[in-house]
Amino acid sequence: MTDSQLTHLDANGDISMVDVSAKTPTHRTATATGQVIFPANIYQAIKTADGMTKKGSITQTAHIAGVMASKRTHELIPLCHQLPLDGVKIAFAYDDENHSINVTATTKVTHKTGVEMEALTAVSVACLTIYDMTKALSHDIIINDIKLLQKTGGKSDYASN
């Protein structure tokens, strides 16, 4: 990989925020996913309780945390642009085979730069929130497989294999 392929380095190799001023705004979306894996007995207890703990609903709390995080991505990742998000959707699914709660986030914007980091941040913080909500039950919880599933808009579209 050469420095010219890294968009956050200028011609001198110095860190630089990408200048998007000459770009035309387009509709952009991104979807990311992640997984919170539990010991089998803890997973079963969480599922049986429909995600309710003494602290409240795991998924409702994680949903709010994920949305809030996506809107603050530019404050967490130094060279990200602040984006006026058009939408953030977060979904949760129980996975009996893997004893996990799978998290998916889709972000949308009409802007000059993409929303991949916002989708990845939403998933990451939602997974961390699930961990925080359930750590009293076990510390043998694994956050796994956070990745971008797809993006549309901008120079090119992307879909993971």
Could you tell me the residue ranges of all domains in the chain?
30-155
By the 8 A CB rule, do 24 and 136 touch? Answer: no
Local confidence band at 8 (pLDDT 50, 70, 90 cut-offs): low
Look at 5 and 103; give whichever has higher pLDDT: 103
Angle between helices 116-134 and 58-71 (to 10 degrees): 150
Given 132, 140, 145, 157, which residue is catalytic?
Answer: 132
Q: What is the pLDDT of residues 65-91, one digit of tens each?
A: 999 999 999 999 988 999 999 999 999
- What pLDDT does residue 2 have? 46
d(CA 29, CA 104): 13
Q: What is the pLDDT of residues 12-62, one digit of tens each?
A: 777 777 778 888 899 999 999 999 999 999 999 999 999 998 889 999 999
Active site residue 3: no
The CATH class for the domain spanning 30-155 reads alpha beta
- What pLDDT does residue 6 have? 65
d(CA 58, CA 147): 21
Q: What is the pLDDT of residues 105-142, one digit of tens each?
A: 999 999 999 899 999 999 999 999 999 999 999 999 99
Local confidence band at 94 (pLDDT 50, 70, 90 cut-offs): very high
Using alpha carbons, select from 91, 80, 77, 73 the residue that is nearest to residue 32.
91
- What does the mean pLDDT of the chain come to? 92
Q: Is 50 left (phi over 0), alpha (psi -120 to 50) or beta?
A: left
